[in-house]
């Protein structure tokens, strides 16, 4: 619990990530970086979305106290102060602008007593991390470098309005400048921390390249609550932190604790630890260790947020036009250019010196930065919300959303006003009290008004007048009492629409020994406390408030953008530490400790004895491999026994909200959470798919394929399970398994829930009808009834008939296994979940054939082991479970020996592969809109937002599938041969379905016109295929995907039954239910099958073989069976034959595929297995 490191860095923002990278360059130093947040996502990497990230949980969400001087027009009279709660910190939220500031800033610091911080001292450190990607600027090697990690570039796209801004600046006398070189005054496009059109955060630049360093640990989702300081020696020796805000832990530092938590959190943490103003700390009952001016000297850059202009043509950007289609985002991710590459819409700037007659000591130092944005705040409501403007002011400017408009921010560089940070309480989870004190000195408003005048001068140039640009003439409602555009009006506007650039700094001021306000010295050491430093923007000493500043020998300082402050400070600190320390210290294992976190936030009781994390030869009672449908449920059930420790290992990470939207189900198959398996080419099926290969999506994510599937919940037929039992799988008959279906079920359909024999409302897994049905789906069920079938509850006494889907959904959204079973278990301290970790081998003692643990790779680079006291349970699915068994020496002897794998058990692993298939091009058209309207765009942001508000509408339909009928077409024994699935969309009208399926482009083009028609499709599914496939190892490398042989349609009977199903589906459209809408079969022949008469058996057989559609119901590859079954891999207790303490619990054990979709029986298998395991190990107590 009190694990030791050489250095502990608190805060994984811009400063902390760079510092962690630099210190861990010394291989003998162990470094722990602790971050309160988690990982950034791809959404934050899109520059135009900069403001949207501020509306997510990665923002601390700070608000200032209400004030009478500024932010009066913001909600509650409070300014929003976004700060990054994420690896990368505010470099993940900011607008990516990279400006160093002015030479005289740093020279002023040095002359004021901060020795070693002059411009010539710090310039090498700017160059050390810079990778200048702008060739013209990179040629100036005095001021730029190309050898660092942090990419600096111009965004790859510019609007005409930004070009006009620069042209206008030139017209009124400014020169083009490289503001990060010799002369800062002038105009320029923005130099930004972007690369290839994407944000380049501190995490991306400095932390990600260090992933292979074993001496660097990164602990996420952990809030440091106190610096541990020995009160006698006044020496910092570690920190106390809370993991996932639940578990309180401590960790020691041998050399130093370094605060890099930013200008708000660093002073807060110092004060919580007893370092700060004595009287304030004592009033909160905090023991004072050092009386210090912590939290004073708060400075920031501000402007006004309503300097809007309009034009008579589209020279800027409109957010609605850009974001109107989610596929514009996908296109951007491919090309990395276009408007989405503009950081928050900000494109260019001018640095202006207002008094050009200044003395030499202040000449060339700007008073104002005029920032140009090619859109306006009201043009996208979320951007307005991130700022915090109130509804009254938004209503005044809302019409700008439909106009060609842009805005300018005149930003004061040297405010005289100073704010403060204080503690709200002694509780570290309480946000600090923030007093901005903006505009308390009238000088600040006067300077901003001067910048407004310059902005208006820019608009009056020919560069803008050719587009009839003008100031938007709508007055700000609270300021209507002043003449519009007068200085009095602007003074009022600044105070109501105060816009901060979130450049808070100065709250742990750096200074020399004579400076009584200084919190840290020039080496950034905290005064009065040994082995404690502050390294972030809080140490910045001064943004001068006047033309001359006495204590800096009349030098005038300019504040520069905070991110560059941070980088120069930390690189300087690294130099100091390197110079001062020569100790030889142990190496620590590199881990990203957040992936070791248990569901409740613990990490194997803090740290394992080896200095790694949970899994470094740690022991658990049970290790479950695979966090899919079976693994998630099983982990939940086994961890009910409080004496048992359970480790769940998953190769993927967390699911996102996008996967929860039912209509986007197929889209998830196009993302990294899909393993992306493809079958080997075959002459019997999938001939019309790309490469002649079927796509077999499988979930690489917590929740597994329950995050990718179409959410259909079908148990199958009574005869399925009774046949299993009759073939020797004792205890698996229908009456045996029905209680296990009921245990997890929460039936939300009242009519069905009333049937207590077949349904339950007490489980965790909600089952319901989607909240929206099309007319076409209702007609489909009516057509089934017309042809002689009943509308049934197919999960009850009789399966034969028609019905809307019962789905694993709630409130119109997917409920995966992760959501249903793992999330409710977060408070269990005996359940550990290890993500992003691929199990590569089951550890089996060769002498006694007993499984005792697993080998796995963390992030595919770090080999680890974990031990199991009782059992290893494989729940990796019908592809990965047999692959892992074979890699571990359990499988066909001849195949394994050819690959040089030592054989532990000769077994028929990988055989008996079964799946459900259909025909994918049985399309129909109608003469009216009875399905999803052709012009409905599911990717339109407005449709998505409406769905998220209402949780209904077309987006709540699982990938467009709505209903089905189970038909017994041969012997009327109640056992269906065919399932006819109805989809209100076709593989052409919903592009993602076609892409996920993998249809070749030439065939897709044949049906592309359906996207503009009223159309739907039916999929006749073969319930009981005779054909059997197989999977084998490609190599002994666990990273190589297995060889998948589907063997579809190798048995002629499968083709014959499918053709019968096609004809039954077509017959449905002859009913009155469909004919009133003029429904007819689309008689566009499939090109490869044109040699056959359309609609003949030969044509349909050809179509089936080309347009083979699989429902990804692979199963049977670790077959369950009795001792007499030589093909069985596991016994009816799911124990692997010939190996002790090893089970398989997933769909791979299914001996014969059931009459339905597989997620329901997979949950049932896990439920039944949990009882078997509990009974075997005599579990007596439950949590």
| Residues catalogued as catalytic | 1113
Our CA angle for 92, 96, 97, nearest 5°, is 150
Taking alpha carbons only, the member of 134, 164, 132, 172 closest to residue 150 is: 132
The whole-angstrom distance between residue 793's C-alpha and the CA centroid of its chain comes to 38
CB neighbour list of residue 374: distance below 8 Å, 6 or more residues apart: 159, 161, 162, 315, 316, 317, 342, 345, 346, 347, 406
Q: Which DSSP state fits 1149?
A: G
672 vs 836: CA distance, rounded Å: 12
Question: Cα–Cα distance between 1145 and 1138 in angstroms, integer?
Answer: 17
Q: Which phi and psi (to 5°) does residue 148 adopt?
A: -90, -175
Which residue blocks in 611-730 are alpha helix, DSSP H?
Answer: 629-638, 665-668, 718-726
- Strands 198-199 and 247-259 come out as unpaired
Say how many Å lie between the first and final Cα of the chain, rounded. 25
Residues written for the chain: 1183
536: tokens are 């972030």
Q: Give DSSP secondary structure letters for 1039-1058.
A: TSPPEEE--TT-SHHHHHHH
| Cα angle for residues 513, 516, 521 (degrees, 5° grid) | 40
Instruction: Provide the total of helices (H) and of strands (E) in the chain, helices listed first.
Output: 34, 51
- Please, is 203 exposed, middle or buried when counting C-beta atoms within 10 Å of its C-beta (0-12, 13-18, 19+)? buried
Q: How far is CA 662 from CA 764, 923, 1132, in A?
A: 19, 22, 35
Q: How far is CA 244 from the centre of its chain?
A: 17
965 - beta bridge partners? 802, 980
Q: How far apart are CA 711 and CA 980, in angstroms?
A: 16
- What six digits make up the tokens of 367? 């008073």
For 527-566, give one letter per residue: b (16+ CB within 10 A) or e.
bebebbbbbbbbbbbbbbbebebebbebbbbbbbbbbbbb
The residue behind tokens 């077994």 is 907
Contact partners, residue 1073, CB within 8 Å, separation at least 6: 779, 780, 782, 783, 786
- Residues 6+ positions from 913 with CB-CB distance below 8 Å: 878, 1028, 1029, 1030, 1031, 1044, 1045, 1046, 1047, 1114, 1115, 1116, 1117
1182 by Cβ neighbours in 10 Å (0-12 / 13-18 / 19+) ranks as exposed
DSSP string, 1054-1070: HHHHHHHHHHHHHHHTT
φ, ψ of residue 335 in degrees (nearest 5)? -90, -20
Written as six digits, the tokens of 907 are 């077994």
């Amino acid at each position: 619990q009190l694990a030791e490191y050489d250095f502990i860095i608190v805060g994984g923002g811009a400063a902390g990530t760079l510092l962690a990278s630099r210190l861990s360059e010394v291989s003998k130093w162990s470094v722990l970086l602790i971050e309160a947040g988690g990982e950034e996502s791809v959404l934050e990497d899109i520059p135009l979305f900069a403001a949207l990230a501020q509306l997510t949980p990665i923002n601390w969400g700070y608000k200032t106290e209400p004030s009478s001087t500024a932010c009066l027009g913001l909600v509650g009279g409070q300014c929003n102060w976004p700060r990054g709660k994420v690896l990368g910190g505010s470099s993940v939220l900011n607008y990516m602008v990279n400006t160093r500031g002015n030479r005289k800033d740093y020279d002023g610091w040095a002359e004021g007593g901060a020795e070693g911080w002059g411009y010539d001292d710090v310039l090498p450190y700017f160059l050390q991390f810079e990778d200048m990607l702008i060739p013209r600027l990179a040629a100036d090697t005095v001021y730029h470098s190309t050898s660092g990690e942090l990419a600096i570039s111009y965004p790859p796209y510019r609007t005409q309005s930004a070009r006009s801004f620069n042209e206008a600046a030139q017209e009124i006398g400014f020169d083009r400048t490289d503001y990060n070189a010799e002369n800062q005054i002038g105009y320029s496009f923005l130099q930004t921390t972007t690369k290839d059109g994407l944000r380049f955060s501190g995490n991306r630049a400095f932390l990600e390249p260090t992933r292979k360093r074993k001496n660097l640990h990164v602990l996420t989702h952990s809030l440091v609550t106190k610096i541990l300081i020995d009160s006698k020696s006044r020496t910092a020796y570690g920190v106390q932190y809370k993991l996932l805000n639940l578990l309180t832990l401590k960790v020691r530092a041998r050399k130093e604790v370094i605060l890099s938590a930013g200008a708000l959190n660093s002073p807060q943490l110092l004060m919580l630890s007893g370092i700060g103003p004595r009287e304030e700390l004592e009033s909160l009952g905090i023991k004072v260790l050092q009386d210090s001016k912590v939290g004073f000297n708060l400075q920031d850059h501000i402007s006004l947020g309503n300097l809007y202009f309009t034009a008579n043509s589209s020279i800027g950007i409109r957010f609605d036009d850009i974001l109107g289609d989610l596929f514009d985002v996908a296109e951007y991710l491919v090309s990395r250019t276009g408007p989405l590459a503009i950081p928050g819409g900000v494109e260019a700037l001018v640095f202006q010196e207002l008094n050009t007659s200044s003395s030499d000591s202040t000449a060339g130092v700007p008073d104002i930065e005029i920032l140009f944005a090619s859109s306006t705040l009201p043009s996208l409501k979320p951007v307005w919300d991130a700022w915090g403007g109130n509804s009254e002011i938004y209503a005044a400017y809302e019409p700008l959303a439909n106009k060609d408009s842009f805005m300018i921010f005149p930003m004061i560089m040297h405010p005289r006003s100073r704010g403060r940070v204080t503690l709200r309480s002694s509780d570290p989870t309480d946000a600090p009290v923030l007093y901005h004190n903006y505009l308390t000195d009238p000088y600040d408003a006067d300077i901003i008004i001067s910048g407004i005048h310059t902005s208006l001068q820019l608009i009056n140039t020919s560069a803008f007048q050719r587009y009839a640009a003008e100031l938007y003439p709508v007055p700000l409602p609270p300021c209507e009492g002043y003449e519009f555009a007068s200085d009095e009006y602007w003074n009022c506007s600044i105070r109501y629409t105060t816009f901060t650039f979130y450049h808070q700094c100065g709250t742990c001021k750096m200074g020399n020994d004579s400076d009584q306000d200084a919190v840290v010295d020039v080496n950034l050491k905290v005064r009065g406390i040994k082995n404690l430093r502050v390294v972030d923007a809080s140490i910045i000493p001064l943004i001068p408030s006047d033309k001359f500043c006495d204590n800096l020998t009349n030098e005038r300082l300019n504040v520069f953008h905070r991110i560059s402050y941070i980088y120069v400070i930390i690189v300087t600190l690294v130099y100091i530490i390197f110079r001062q320390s020569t100790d030889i210290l142990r190496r620590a294992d590199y881990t990203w400790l957040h992936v070791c976190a248990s569901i409740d936030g613990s990490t194997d009781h803090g740290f394992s004895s080896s200095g790694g994390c949970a899994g470094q030869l740690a022991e658990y009672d049970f290790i479950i491999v695979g966090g899919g449908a079976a693994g998630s449920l099983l982990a939940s059930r086994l961890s009910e026994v409080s004496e048992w420790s359970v480790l769940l290992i998953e190769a993927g990470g967390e699911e996102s909200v996008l996967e929860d939207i039912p209509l986007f189900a197929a889209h998830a198959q196009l993302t990294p959470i899909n393993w992306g398996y493809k079958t080997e080419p075959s002459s019997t099926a999938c001939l019309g798919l790309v490469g002649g290969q079927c796509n077999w999506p499988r979930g690489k994510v917590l929740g597994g394929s329950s995050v990718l599937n179409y959410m259909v919940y079908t148990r199958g037929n009574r005869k399925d399970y009774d046949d299993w039992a009759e073939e020797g799988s004792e205890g698996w008959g229908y009456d045996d398994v029905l209680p296990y279906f009921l245990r997890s079920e929460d039936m939300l359909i009242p009519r069905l829930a009333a049937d207590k024999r077949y349904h339950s409302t007490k489980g965790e897994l909600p089952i319901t009808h989607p909240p929206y049905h099309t007319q076409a789906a209702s007609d489909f069920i009516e057509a089934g009834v017309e042809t002689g079938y009943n509308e049934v509850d197919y999960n009850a006494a009789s399966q034969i008939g028609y019905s809307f889907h019962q789905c694993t959904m709630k409130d119109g959204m997917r409920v995966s296994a992760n959501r249903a079973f793992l999330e409710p278990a977060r408070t269990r301290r005996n359940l550990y979940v290890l993500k992003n970790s691929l199990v590569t081998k089951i550890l089996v003692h060769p002498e006694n054939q007993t499984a005792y643990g697993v080998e796995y790779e963390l992030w595919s680079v770090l080999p680890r082991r974990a031990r199991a006291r009782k059992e290893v349970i494989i729940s990796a699915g019908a592809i990965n479970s047999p692959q892992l068994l074979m890699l571990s020496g359990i499988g066909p002897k001849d195949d394994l020996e050819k690959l040089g794998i030592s054989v532990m058990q000769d077994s028929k692993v990988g055989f008996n592969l079964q799946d459900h298939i259909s025909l994918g091009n049985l399309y129909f058209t109608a003469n009216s809109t009875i399905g999803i309207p052709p012009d409905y765009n599911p990717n339109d942001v407005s449709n998505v937002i409406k769905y998220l508000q209402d949780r209904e509408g077309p987006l709540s339909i699982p990938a467009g599938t709505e209903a089905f009928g189970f038909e017994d077409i041969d012997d009327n024994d109640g056992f269906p041969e065919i399932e006819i699935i109805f989809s209100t969309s076709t593989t052409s009208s919903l592009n993602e379905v076609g892409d996920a399926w993998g249809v070749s482009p030439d065939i897709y083009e044949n049906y592309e016109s359906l996207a503009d028609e009223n159309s739907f499709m039916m999929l006749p599914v073969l319930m009981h295929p005779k054909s059997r496939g197989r999977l084998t190892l490609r190599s002994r490398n666990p990273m190589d995907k297995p060889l998948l042989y589907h063997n579809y349609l190798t048995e002629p009977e499968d083709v014959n039954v499918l053709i019968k199903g096609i004809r039954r589906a077509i017959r449905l459209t002859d009913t009155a239910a469909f004919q009133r809408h003029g429904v007819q079969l689309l008689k566009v022949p499939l090109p490869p099958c044109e040699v056959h008469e359309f609609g003949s058996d030969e044509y349909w057989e050809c179509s089936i073989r080309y347009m083979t559609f699989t429902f990804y119901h692979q199963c049977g590859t670790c077959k369950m069976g009795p001792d007499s079954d030589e093909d069985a891999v596991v016994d009816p207790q799911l124990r692997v034959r010939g190996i002790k303490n090893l089970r398989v619990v997933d769909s791979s054990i299914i001996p014969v595929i059931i009459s339905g979709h597989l997620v329901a029986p997979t949950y049932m298998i896990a439920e039944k297995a949990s009882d078997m395991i509990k009974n075997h190990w005599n579990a007596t107590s439950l949590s």
